[in-house]
């Protein structure tokens, strides 16, 4: 996928109304070159369509696993244009591939269970569609894209509405077809909300033992999502409790940049 407006905004930000003074001073206006985007590490690449330069030969596609040294894209054309777009292209590729690679690590960690890894709304402003696409390319699934997609009744909503039943009934009355998820902190709260028949219950900062007890208590009446304090080394432990989802904000807000470089091959 490609977000042309975001690419244009990134290039405009880089120029800040001026020109690339280094390239203009050192490279003639009609100079051409050939270059390759090369992976420096192993992982899942995303953002191949975001490079934003002409004369592109794509050698991989979004969601492919690559190794260090693999050539991802070959570009040829005007030297100034390619070097102008270099950092913007690497920013897109590195950030989105980092998200996909991290997501894939979580997915592999829970492989063989019935649990799914999914993201949150903890995304970079303006990048949500792309970052959630990267999560999917890494093998994860998406939670709601926006506040209008579904209701997530959290502790602040419950406090403001005067109780969990009041909050639930208000949402159901105002938006009768909207999926409703309710956050609970304890097994006692879980028992209280089950008669309301929510579509999903978020188990906030519960231990694996509590999650296992929650699965037993629910007995298939609704889906369960574990969230908060879950680390990669504990992912499988949580998944094996029987919860349906692990909600991992780190997929988008803490993914390490995937190392990719642009190597000039000729002038």
Q: What is the pLDDT of residues 49-98, one digit of tens each?
A: 766 556 789 999 999 999 999 999 999 999 999 999 999 999 999 999 99
Kindly state the average pLDDT of the residues 241-267: 94
Residues 6+ apart with CB under 8 A from 17: none
End-to-end CA distance of the chain: 30
Q: Which of 183, 225, 236, 244 is catalytic?
A: 183
For residue 266, is pLDDT > 80? Answer: no
pLDDT at 4: 81
Extended strands (E) in 5-121: 32-39, 43-44, 56-58, 65-66, 71-78, 116-118
| C-alpha–C-alpha distance, residues 217 and 221, integer Å | 9
Cα distance between residue 226 and residue 244, in whole Å = 8
pLDDT at 54: 62
Choosing from 8, 40, 61, 87, the catalytic residue is: 87
Digit-coded pLDDT (tens) for 156-168: 999 999 999 999 9
Catalytic: which of 181, 204, 225, 244? 204
pLDDT for 183: 96
What secondary structure letter does DSSP report for 28?
Answer: -
Task: Please state the rounded mean pLDDT for residues 213-225.
Answer: 97
Q: Is 154 a catalytic residue?
A: yes
Identify the active-site residue in 108, 121, 122, 165.
Answer: 122
Query: Catalytic residue at 87?
Result: yes
Answer yes or no: 223 catalytic. no
Structural domains of the chain ordered from first start: 4-101+256-266 (3.90.1170.20), 108-253 (3.20.20.70)
Tell me the whole-structure pTM to 2 decimals. Answer: 0.94
- The average confidence (pLDDT) of the chain is 94
Q: What pLDDT does residue 2 have?
A: 73
Which H or E run includes 167?
Answer: helix 164-174
């Amino acid at each position: 996928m490609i977000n042309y407006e975001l690419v244009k905004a990134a290039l405009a930000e880089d120029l800040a109304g001026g020109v690339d003074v280094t390239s203009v001073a050192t490279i003639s206006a009609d100079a051409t070159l050939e270059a390759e985007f090369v992976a420096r590490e192993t992982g899942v690449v995303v953002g191949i369509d975001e490079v934003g330069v002409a004369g592109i030969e794509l050698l991989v596609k979004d969601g492919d696993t690559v190794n260090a040294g693999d050539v991802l894209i070959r570009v040829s054309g005007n030297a100034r244009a390619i070097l102008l777009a270099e950092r913007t292209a690497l920013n897109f590729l590195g950030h989105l591939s980092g998200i996909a690679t991290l997501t894939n690590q979580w997915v592999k960690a829970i492989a063989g269970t019935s649990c799914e890894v999914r993201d949150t709304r903890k995304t970079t402003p303006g990048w949500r569609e792309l970052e959630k696409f990267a999560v999917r390319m890494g093998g994860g699934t998406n939670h709601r894209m926006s506040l209008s997609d579904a209701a997530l009744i959290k502790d602040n909503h419950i406090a403001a509405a005067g109780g969990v039943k009041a909050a639930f009934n208000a949402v159901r009355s105002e938006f009768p077809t909207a999926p409703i998820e309710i956050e609970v902190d304890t097994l006692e709260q879980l028992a209280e909300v089950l008669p309301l028949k929510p579509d999903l219950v978020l188990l906030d900062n519960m231990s694996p033992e509590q999650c296992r007890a929650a699965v037993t208590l629910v007995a298939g009446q609704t889906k369960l999502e574990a969230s908060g304090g879950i680390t990669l080394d504990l992912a499988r432990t949580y998944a094996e409790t029987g919860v349906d989802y692990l909600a991992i904000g780190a997929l988008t807000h803490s993914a390490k940049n995937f190392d990719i470089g642009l190597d000039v091959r000729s002038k």
